[in-house]
Chain A
Amino acid sequence: MSGEGRPILAYTCGRAPVELIEAAGFEPRPLPLLGPAAPPRAPDAAPGAATLNALHALLAPGSCRLVRESCRSLAGTAGVAGALVASCCHPAARLADALAAGGLDVAVFAAALPRRRDAAAIRWLAAELETLLGALLEAPARPGPPGPPAASLAAAVIAWEHAAAAYSRLATVLPVLPAGAAPAALEAVHGGGGGEAVATALDRVRVAALVASSRGGMAAPRQPGVLLSAQACDAAALARAVEEAGGRVVALDACIIRRLSSNGALPAGPPPDGGARRRRPAGLRRTLVNIARRTVAADCPATSATPRRARALRALAGERGAALAVLAADPNCVAAAYELPFVAAVLEAAGLAVVKVGAPAGAGGPLGDHAREVLEAAMKSLRW
């Protein structure tokens, strides 16, 4: 249970339909880091080693840290009512299967997200989201009696639009903010708690950073601007490492902010709150289509958009004045393994320096020494 009294529903993937979680009355928190609202389980309530081993045996071997840690986090945390496992890659789909196969006392909801980016994908996803919303509304741990879904969904959509707008405000001033703003932004999103909470946290980061810069903490102009693209890894730790190495993060492309930074903004505004019964299905459906559109627009290496993403990152780097692109991914992310060399080639052809970092795998610290050395060497060469 969160501080606001709503039961926590954990979710995976930056493209997960968080609006649905909120609309069903839960508080969304991203996995694998659930934060202080979800304390560790008491030893007698924790699943046994046999359960955990069985669960791990069902995961795809070579799964990324996000999948493995999500599993561990759910198993080790108390007060989580359920998990929405959104997947657009096979290891994540296997996580949903493994959790559904049992062993943990959390309700599991699966959402397969499309890899394609077209109207057919949006239509299909919207229909699937309707089924998912129905399942969430039926969840035993859901607080209170079922309310009108169209109204609560509209409210959740507005809340997440606020979060997206707050992110946009922060992202545009990121190049002039002092060190610490980018990691703080990523942590704010990771804190979860719903759309309004994320919006407030992001605005707080922006205001604090602007206040600091007005007091003379403006980013040193000689620090090379960095475009940080972080897939399936701890983006906040990476952003901090980039700053420690002497760079400043001027543009972000990370899993956790995927939904907020998608360029497929919700069209036509939120639907009416469904006061008239006969209008409810139409409003609900329209909202779900809009959510599906936003989900499909928020692409990542696991979606079919490699050439488009490479061009988008090149444009973003140019727009924000980045001199260096740091492309980081979990070493086990297959999609990134294929995509990163292509993206790197496109960015290099545009005159950008590129470093690839095989970022945080497994326990033992968020970022390995080798990755830090790579970042420091890159910064040094840029300053030279």
Chain B
Amino acid sequence: MLETPLVQRLRLLRDAAASSGSRAWKGLCDSAYRDVTELCGRPDAVVALTFYVPPEIPAALGLIPVGHEFLAAAAAAIPAARPVLAAAAYDLAPATVTCGYQRMFWGLIASGWIPSPRAFLAATLPCDDAWKMFEVAAARLHRPFQLIEIPGAPGHASSEARARAYVARQLATCAARLGAATGTRLAPEAVARTVELSNRALTALRRVDRLRQERPGILPAPQALRYFTLHAKLGTPEAAEVFETLAEELNAPTPSGPAGLLAPGAPRKRVLWLGMPPLFMPALTAELEERYAVSVVYEEPSAFEGGPLAVKSFFDDLAARLLAQPGVGPPSRRAAALVRLARRFSADGVVHFSYPQCRALLGSAGYVAAACRRAGIPFAEVTGEVIDPGSHDAGRMCAQLEAFMARIGARLSGRAGGR
């Protein structure tokens, strides 16, 4: 059978990773390649998820969870995928309104790059785009669709408890319905195994974050943003193993990873990156670091809140974890969480990468800007595209970044001069 360009790209990445010297990177590339080949070979075993849907549910049912944003992001770097995007704009919904992730994912299915997954699980956050696209895709492909409603963050304790109970109930229903639709069921031992794997991954993730805080620049942003895709694989052996290996490699006296795993060199400006960078420009953040002598010390997508899971309270804990994510709730909550993150990583500035069709991020950029201003942290909103290069204005993005870097540089020199 002929390989589609997506499978081919992930195979080449996997082959290159084999000789990179980093076991974590190799594990990540293996996992990505396996996901896509499983989807192409055994689509009935794969469940597509939007962001925030706990992957532990399909994992505990013995199904393979695959984040649809991961597939879209992987395809974004392939020039041959551009017609796929254009076709989806015609077939699914207009490009002027809809987000590139959704168009790319639908385009991959509609153009035959990937088959339809067995089922579609979506959450009402972070945006309306993702779940609405899943609903329409499921209806068109005659596949089961489950929606997890995440209530907007309430301001009082009773509402919070209610929200948690509501989400937990939905997760339990979702597991039961997904099981019924796929002929599987939640076995206690499978739940126990999933809980163990998810907790292991989370513990390792915390270690990685701690190491990144202690040794800024130890894991460059382009690498970190790739590992972030494993958030959609929590509860699987791959996620636990890759995060554990990554923590181990970062903790080694001489990091043995790929080119990305570098010890911090000369003092650099520290930047916190919010949102995703343009995924069709994989070297952007590396170039940015090189050109402006900055270090992207952390990225918002890597932040994962919440505590460990327990077998007894599986759905309750998943609900609590889901509601603990900074992106859940009013934008002021996201803004406060990001200011904490900026302080934790001693960021000299915050770059909010906004893309026009992302209402989730753009809708709260004003709040983040105000919170940063109050906290005395320089902030810049940089605009561009993440998936669709056709609507990306590289010149404008570079000008915005340049101006911001100059601002941070002047501020830091002023501070040094003051001393």
A residues near B, CB below 8 A?
57-62, 87, 89-91, 93-94, 97, 101, 110, 112, 114-116, 118, 120-121, 123-124, 127-128, 131, 301-302, 304, 306-307, 331-335, 337-339, 341-342
B79 at the interface (CB under 8 A from A): no
B78 at the interface (CB under 8 A from A): no
Q: How far is the CA of A128 from the CA of B136 in the complex (A)?
A: 29
Q: How far is the CA of A43 from the CA of B127 in the complex (A)?
A: 38
B364 / chain A contacts, CB cutoff of 8 Å: 94
Q: How far is the CA of A124 from the CA of B364 in the complex (A)?
A: 26
B165 / chain A contacts, CB cutoff of 8 Å: 124
Interface string of B128-164 (1 = CB under 8 A from A): 1101110110011000000101011010101100110
Beyond the given A62-B356, A90-B359, please list 19 additional residue pairs across the A-B interface where CB-CB is below 8 A.
A59-B363, A61-B356, A97-B330, A97-B331, A110-B152, A114-B151, A115-B124, A123-B166, A124-B163, A124-B166, A127-B158, A128-B154, A128-B159, A302-B128, A307-B139, A334-B127, A337-B98, A339-B132, A341-B92
Interface string of B288-312 (1 = CB under 8 A from A): 0000000000000000000000000
B156/A131 in contact, CB under 8 A: yes
B97/A60 in contact, CB under 8 A: no
A338/B92 in contact, CB under 8 A: yes
Chain B: which residue is nearest A302 at the CB level? B128
A94 / chain B contacts, CB cutoff of 8 Å: 331, 359, 363-364
Closest CB pairs A-B (n = 3): A60-B363, A124-B166, A338-B132
User: In the complex, what's the smallest C-beta–C-beta distance from A296 to chain B, in angstroms?
Assistant: 11
In the complex, the number of residue pairs spanning A and B with C-beta atoms less than 8 Å apart equals 116
User: In the complex, what's the smallest C-beta–C-beta distance from B170 to chain A, in angstroms?
Assistant: 6
A342/B356 in contact, CB under 8 A: no
Chain A: which residue is nearest B125 at the CB level? A90
B98/A306 in contact, CB under 8 A: no
Chain B: which residue is nearest A59 at the CB level? B363
B166/A58 in contact, CB under 8 A: no
Chain B: which residue is nearest A124 at the CB level? B166
Q: How far is the CA of A120 from the CA of B162 in the complex (A)?
A: 11
B139/A338 in contact, CB under 8 A: no
A115/B152 in contact, CB under 8 A: no
Chain B: which residue is nearest A91 at the CB level? B359
B359/A61 in contact, CB under 8 A: yes
B357 at the interface (CB under 8 A from A): yes
User: In the complex, what's the smallest C-beta–C-beta distance from A213 to chain B, in angstroms?
Assistant: 40
B169 at the interface (CB under 8 A from A): yes
User: In the complex, what's the smallest C-beta–C-beta distance from A233 to chain B, in angstroms?
Assistant: 14
B128/A60 in contact, CB under 8 A: no
Among B149, B169, B360, which residue has its beta carbon within 8 angstroms of that of A115?
B149
